[in-house]
Structure 1
Amino acid sequence: MTITTCIFDAYGTLFDVAAAARVVAEEPGREKLAAVWPQIAADWRAKQLEYSWLRAVAGTYVPFWEVTKDGLDWAMERAGLQDDLELRERLLALYWELPAYKEVPFMLAHLKAAGKNCAILSNGNKDMLEGAVDSAGVGTYLDALISVDKVETFKPAREVYDLVGARFGYAPEEVLFVSSNGWDAAHAAAYGFNTVWVNRMGLPMDRLPGKPGRVLSDLSTIPELV
């Protein structure tokens, strides 16, 4: 069946989540952060995801922005920087301006030229996604920004993936779902989507019921698949 719709995860897939810590670490007077920014970036992302899963299981949903702040607070405390409130605010501000990976505009432009629907399906709340999309300048290529806020739970809950069909009206087999999270691509595959795992870090395959249909190192060849 022909692929009609290309759905992308946002954070880590289209947008570089490590950029906030990396950029701030390069600013004058940020020597303490410069020494630990890779750890903070990794811990921030790990806790952001862990807290979303735990909240989904426990039924204690809050918007992803609250999860993002909680994850940063944990990461900063682990690095001994929890008292630097100005640094915290600076890092959080830049999370609304994450850059897209360099291949993203070209890739999306080619998909739209081929007549494909393109959208984001993300844990991020709508205003977070709008900020990242506007900052990266890729809004013209996207038909929808779909947030889990509509169902008040997080990926990989099935009701999150249901949002794609509700928005576009296509069967799962007509959808190409792309994520940099192996667990997300695996669950999307089990749901019935065609899937691509963008494995930028060369990680092992997750041991989960579903398996991504393709594994790529970046997004540049996505248009060739559809």
Structure 2
Amino acid sequence: MNGIKGIAFDLYGTLFDVHSVAARCDDAFPGRGREISALWRQKQLEYTWLRSLMQRYVDFEQATEDALRFACRQLGLELDSRTHDTLRNAYLQLAPFAEVPGTLRELRQRGLKLAILSNGSPKSIDAVVSHVGLRGEFDHLLSADAVHVYKPDHRVYELAGQTLQLDRTEILFVSSNAWDATGARSFGFPTCWINRSGNVFEEMGQKPDWEVTGLQGLAALFE
């Protein structure tokens, strides 16, 4: 980790569990929570990529709501306005993975600049981290909304260097999403892949510099 002066974290799935919404989904549609959550997340990602390719940007909240409506229609579930609002708001109150608060504090104590670099909108990012009292652990919350395109477009990754005022080689990018780690590595970031599920990495000509099973493993790399 010689030369690393800052860390840019992905938010969704890396620091916060996107499937923590499954409990709310299950409250609304008993027995269907995990199924809804999985399809909702899949379509959310697809819509960000498709909108980037089509140059038809909408903010992350809109893409997330569109994906929720699709998931419910696909699964034959009636989404009334009250349930829609409840589940939409659940995405602003995601639960962090257990090791996240302690690891962030440890990394800050090492003098590293910490940022979030997310496809989420500024409102979404701030709501998620503030809800659990983690806003103060980050120097910057960076959103793809600033460039109106989504990761893995290089313009999003460029935001980190511009804001942290560091060369891309001095910023470690951390993500649990293999497609995101692939994009960041292609851009030129040293990259750590958080592989909590024992998955295989993408076959796109890139490999992460480090692979760990949780954020605590990231902290250990700096020891």
Normalization by structure 2: what TM-score?
A: 0.95
Flag as ranges the 4+ runs of structure 1 deviating above 4 A: none
**Are 1:14 and 2:15 matched, yes or no?**
yes
Q: How does 1:66-145 map to 2 (within 5 A)?
A: 66-145=62-141
Paired residue secondary structure (2:31): helix
Could you tell me which residue of structure 1 aligns to residue 150 of structure 2? Answer: 154
Task: Tell me which of 194, 202, 214 is aligned to 1:206.
Answer: 202
Higher alpha-carbon deviation: 206-215 or 79-88: 79-88
| 8 Å Cα contact 1:177-1:188 kept in structure 2 | yes
Q: Is the Cα contact below 8 Å between 1:187 and 1:209 reproduced in 2? A: no
Paired position in structure 2 for 1:191: 187
Per-residue CA distance 1:105-156 (angstroms, 9 max, x = gap): 0010001000000010000000111100111211111000000111100000
Deviation for aligned residue 1:86:
2.2
Query: 2:69–2:79: 8 Å Cα contact kept in structure 1?
Result: no
Per-residue Cα deviation, 1:35-58 (whole angstroms, up to 9, x for no partner) = 111111111111000000000011
* Alignment deviations for residues 69-115 of structure 1 (CA, whole Å, 9 cap, x no partner): 01111111122213433222111111111111110000100010000
Q: Matched residues in 1 for 2:67 and 2:24: separation?
A: 18
Query: For this pair of structures, how many residues does the alignment match?
Result: 221
Same amino acid, percent of matched pairs? 38
TM, length-normalised to structure 1: 0.94
> 1: distance between equivalents of 2:197 and 2:36?
17
Shift of 1:24: 4.5
Q: Secondary structure at 1:52's aligned position in 2?
A: helix
Say what the alpha-carbon RMSD is for the aligned residues: 1.3
Secondary structure of residue in 2 paired with 1:34: coil
Partner SS state of residue 221, structure 1: helix
Q: Is the 8 A contact 1:40 1:76 kept in 2?
A: yes
